Structure 1
Amino acid sequence: MKGKKEEKEDSKSSSSSLTLPGDAIWYEILSYVTLDDLLQRCRWVCRDWKYLTYDSTFKRLHSQRTQSFSGYLIQYLKKDENYPVLNYGTSFISSVAAYPSSISLDFLPNSADVIIRVEATSNQAQGLVCCLTYEPVLDHIPRYYVCKPLTRQWTQIPTPITHDLTKRMAIVIKKSHPLHYKIIRLSWSSMKTRQIFHYEIFDSKNWEWTTILKVWIDDPKEMLSFDVEKRNWSLYSLPRSQEEVKEAIIGDIKISLLPQEKVEVNCDLHVVNCEGNLGVLYHVSRLWMELWVMEDYLNKTWKKKFRVRLEPLKQIVGEYFVLAMDSMDMMLLQNGDKLISYNYTNGILTQVMKIEDLNICNPIFQFNSDNVDCYLGPPPKEYSTEEEKKENQEQGIILA
């Protein structure tokens, strides 16, 4: 289903090209490596190891042997007459198994009586989730939590300083042992023709939010990038405008249509994390897809990976929406009330789950996690006695 040969410009980018007969010993060894080491170290040893870690067969075996999880966290709107405001449901979807996971957020305080909205997840091995809860009727300030669903651990964190509407949040793991993480919050307000963005950072070391800066955006067609360490921002130009992609593909679409068919050409844009690379996915009228990845972050240059015909997919499932993409050959789609995993290199469709009246709340969160306990709470005070030291150790607290 790749279409013409020239439509795929970089065949080596696909993990399906990986052959392992001579590397069987590495395949076996790496399948037992901890998820943290696999994602942060092994993946960057060489290109073949990186492709291997994204191979679906390998990920399934590694997940079984290390009791880890790889997939997505999705939120959807639930119809509930008892809730006068929007209510959310949450599901964890494995990318290596064709069934819903049993992981949930039901261990959070008063989870049955409050509305839980996920704000961010870490795509690293620690599997952290940042979410807020609020009463369905009472207009109270929401409470923010950081939790680890696989070990059912949680802690409440301070409320952000700025109360403007949250645009996006992210979690960055700085250190595993002891755990050190930062949460970046981007909120926004509008002033006539300008959008004003506010950056805040929560640091688990000092257990407080810091307001970093304000950003004024005049052109919404550029990509905003924030450097957590340098605490500055920059704008990235997109690889192509949506109009340019439409013009490049519209001729091919018209050629492939039957004489009586008419299609309104539109182009959707998705920012994706594809095999660890920043990517931009252009989706044209559900008939073509084009992927670009950031090739050089220093010079901000993009490289087109492929253009793929999706007409056979549309003929099978009808209308659909692209939700996520984490490898060069796999996508997560929504078709009505069904979530579908689609491998566009071999055309295999797998129904992941079905939810009545499914209404997905973007974004879809990529989510990895091991099952190792970690201390999420505020930094402990320096102990001065053996009793305080023992108490900290019993709580799993390790001082840096």
Structure 2
Amino acid sequence: MNPPMPLTSSELPHDVAFKILTRTSLETLDACKVVSKTWNGMTYESSFMESYCCRTNNISGYFVQGIRNNKYISEFVSMDGCSEKDQLSHLPVAALKTKDIFSDHYNCDMKIEASSKQGILCCMRTTRNDNHRYYICKPSTQEWKKLPNPKMRYKTVKVALVVLKSNPLRFKIIRLSQDDPARSSGLIYLLTTDNQVLVLNYDGEEAYPRFELPEQVTQNEDCKYKKLISYEGKLRLICFSWSEILELWCIENTRNPFWTKEKEVEIESIKRVTNYPSPIDFYNNEIVLLGL
């Protein structure tokens, strides 16, 4: 008699798969996302990350960076109420080694240059001689690693951080001369000023030919804001119009690019808080992060 065939992801009941995914490690969770579209979509359900953080003691949220008294300040905002248990409320500069500690930890001029979905940050501070000192930081464990100073021959506009391996930690830092990079499927995507998407690999080389944004977006004079993001493991485009309509466009295959509109959200009510919202990211199916 032949042995029974193992269950596939599609054969597992939703509640069983949900419990499995909310109890696994971050590394395993990334692998599970590529098992099926069902499992990948499950990780973006509104209740998933709250359950995941509760069961695995992980932290989910965003660092919000601003300037106060001509110095950078960075505070952590939890999206699922999970930061208090680890008392993570700001960038942990006090955990730096003695020779790097500042006299005022909470007002030191430490700027977050880039971040990764694994919770690793690339930070930079200005020294007394107006030079730059770079660090890698893991806020959840308050670990810091000082980096050798790069040779700055050209002006850096944006920094991208790519984690190649979590244990042991291996990463790559790419300095860019163009804003708004998005990372997805092992590549870096840049939106050019002529509404094209530039695709780079982790060595900074062009991986695929450039391709256009959706025609409906480029010809829409009402569109005042465009941003590339990575959502559900794929390249997405946020388009925000003067009529307070937020659109999310999806592209399935960048080698044969074809855009489809995935979501459309009316955010007129946001104007009660601010007249100039700027969409930053889709956190899950029900939450959009906006800058005010």
Going from structure 1 to structure 2, the CA distance change for 1:176 and 1:284 (only over 3 Å counts) comes to: same
Instruction: Identify the residue that residue 319 of structure 1 maps to in structure 2.
Output: 275
CA contact (8 A) 2:77 2:89 kept: no
Q: CA deviation at 1:333?
A: 2.2
Instruction: Identify the residue that residue 36 of structure 1 maps to in structure 2.
Output: 27
Q: CA deviation at 1:219?
A: 5.4
Larger relative CO (CA 8 A, sep 6+): 1 or 2?
Answer: 1
Q: CA deviation at 1:57?
A: 1.4
Taking the TM superposition and a 5 Å limit, the aligned residue runs for 1:180-191 are 180-187=170-177
Instruction: Identify the residue that residue 120 of structure 1 maps to in structure 2.
Output: 114
Q: CA deviation at 1:103?
A: 4.7
Going from structure 1 to structure 2, the CA distance change for 1:148 and 1:218 (only over 3 Å counts) comes to: closer
Taking the TM superposition and a 5 Å limit, the aligned residue runs for 1:168-187 are 168-187=158-177
TM-score (normalizing by structure 2): 0.78
What is the rounded CA distance, in whole Å, between the counterparts of 1:41 and 1:167 in structure 2?
Answer: 32
Taking the TM superposition and a 5 Å limit, the aligned residue runs for 1:79-158 are 80=69, 86-97=70-81, 101-106=88-93, 107-108=95-96, 109-111=100-102, 112=104, 114-124=108-118, 127-135=119-127, 138-158=128-148
Q: How many residue pairs end up in the alignment?
A: 258
CA contact (8 A) 2:135 2:144 kept: yes
| Unmatched tracts of structure 2, length 5 or more | 1-11, 180-190
Amino acid paired to 1:23: H
Instruction: Identify the residue that residue 303 of structure 1 maps to in structure 2.
Output: 260
Q: CA deviation at 1:245?
A: 2.5
Going from structure 1 to structure 2, the CA distance change for 1:187 and 1:309 (only over 3 Å counts) comes to: closer
Q: CA deviation at 1:301?
A: 2.4
What is the rounded CA distance, in whole Å, between the counterparts of 2:243 and 2:291 in structure 1?
Answer: 12
Instruction: Identify the residue that residue 50 of structure 1 maps to in structure 2.
Output: 40
Amino acid paired to 2:175: R
CA contact (8 A) 1:56 1:96 kept: no
Aligned partner (choices 211, 218, 221) of residue 236 of structure 1: 211
Instruction: Identify the residue that residue 232 of structure 2 maps to in structure 1.
Output: 275
| Unmatched tracts of structure 1, length 5 or more | 1-20, 81-85, 189-196, 198-216, 247-264, 336-400
What is the rounded CA distance, in whole Å, between the counterparts of 2:163 and 2:265 in structure 1?
Answer: 35
Amino acid paired to 1:319: N
Higher-Rg structure is: 1
Amino acid paired to 1:24: D
What is the rounded CA distance, in whole Å, between the counterparts of 1:328 and 1:272 in structure 2?
Answer: 14
Q: Deviations over 1:39-76 (max 9, x none)?
A: x2111111221121112312101111111122212211
